[in-house]
Amino acid sequence: MKTVLSLCLFAVCSLPVLAQNPSTRGDVNSDTNVNISDVVALINGLMTNDMGAIDDGAADVNHDSQVNITDVVALINYVMTEEWPDEVKIETFTVNGVTFNMVYVKGGTFMMGATDEDSYARPWEKPAHEVTLSDYYIGEVEVTQALWRAVMNSNPSWFTSSNGYGTDLNRPVERVTFSNCKTFFNKLNQLTGKTFRLPTEAEWEYAARGGSKSKGYLYSGSNEVSEVAWYKGVADDMTHPVASKAPNELGLYDMSGNVEEWVSDWYDLYTDEPQTDPQGPSTGSYRITRGGSWDQAFRSCRVTYRYDALVTANSSHIGLRIALTM
């Protein structure tokens, strides 16, 4: 492998890909396997400028319409880890006929909280501090009315047909207290045999930022809030079906806007000390909600926005999202 890495330093030419072939990603030599032989074949092709035996579509492993050194590096990483850098891992579950997806979040280290460069940041969003997280899964969308009803056999939401808002159960569930969420997870875990839970505040923010794929957006998935969020002024004073705006870098929807989301932490002010898998204070008076909602200003949809809420709060702008430990 060291020899291969050394050879990569010399493979600096870049050849345009004229067409993407319907071939297996990374199978450069077309032998139906993706392994070290494909790495060698790609390096040789680049070094000799002879791509005649190379499947261009398979060799453009990072999908940038070029075949060059970056594809070699991506291919080596895949051979070593069996993961493509942009690959989204999804686990699908079904409960009483309702299906939901959990998206894999690869752990890492990030700066949590707002910096002075964010003119909208409030004092309780600071200071920015280093947090390291382990791998976990998080819900692709907010818990819908359909999933809540499948688990709890009830629907506490305001935005339902009985109040004139139609029969679309893909709206996020709301008017759920923190205790209601605990009951929901107890029943969901009995039905699935898993250990679903609320995300921690750190897990929520890391996922909202796009995890290891983050592009540093102000909102979850964009610097243009209207692309990714339902918020006051554009939401028509109501929730909307989940995943009706664009996703973020991890393929997660509505982490900005639609409804605020409970997280598991008690509320407290930040410190500047580095943390690993923080769980928040052991006690407190308020829990935390994240993400902003349909009846809040666009500023509340920022990935660092945080709000303290009584555990008994059952507002029509508060819902939840599922997390799952690896």
Per-residue pLDDT at 5 exceeds 60? no
CATH number of the CATH domain containing 17: 1.10.1330.10
Distance between CA 66 and CA 20 in Å, rounded? 11
Helix 36-48 / helix 69-81 crossing angle, nearest 10 deg: 170
Whether residue 152 sits in one domain with residue 52: no
| 174-230 tens-digit pLDDT | 999 999 999 999 999 999 999 999 999 999 999 999 999 999 999 999 999 999 999
User: Using an 8 Å Cβ cutoff, are 66 and 15 in contact?
Assistant: yes
CA atoms within 13 A on the CB side of 30: 9
Is residue 257 within 8 A of residue 295, CB to CB? The reply is no
- pLDDT digit string (tens) for 260-309? 999 999 999 999 999 999 999 999 999 999 999 999 999 999 999 999 99
Shortest CA distance to 184 belongs to which of 278, 98, 292, 92?
A: 98
Tally of CA atoms within 13 A in the half-sphere of 46 that contains its CB: 29
Q: Is there a single domain that holds both residue 40 and residue 121?
A: no
Mark which of 42, 58, 81 sits at the end of a domain: 81
Do 111 and 226 belong together in one domain?
yes
> Which of 53, 81, 109 delimits the end of a domain?
81
Same domain assignment for residues 157 and 58: no
- Across 37-41, 129-133, 218-222, 228-232, least confident range: 37-41
Domain boundary among 22, 51, 81: 81
DSSP code for 160 = S
The DSSP H or E segment spanning 137 is strand 136-139
CB atoms inside a 10 Å sphere around CB 181: 24
Same domain, 163 and 229: yes
- 304 and 218 in one domain? yes
Residues 149 and 264 in one domain: yes
SS3 category, 196:
strand
Do 71 and 127 lie in one domain? The reply is: no
CA–CA gap between residue 41 and residue 135 (Å, rounded) = 33
Residue-number span of the structural domain to which 239 is assigned: 90-325
Q: Are residues 65 and 99 in the same domain?
A: no
Q: For 131, phi and psi rounded to 5 degrees?
A: -130, 135
Can you give the pTM of this predicted structure? 0.79
- Segment (H or E) for 6: helix 2-8
Whether residues 120 and 12 fall in one domain: no
193 lies in the same domain as 47 = no
H or E element that contains 206: helix 201-209
29-55 in b/e form (b: 16+ CB < 10 A) is: beeeebeeebbebbbbbbeeeebeebb
Indicate if the pLDDT at residue 80 is higher than 70: yes
Q: What is the CATH number of the domain that holds 224?
A: 3.90.1580.10
Asked if 29 and 105 sit in the same domain, the reply is no
Domains in the chain: how many in total?
2
CA–CA distance, 28 with 119 (Å, rounded to integer):
48
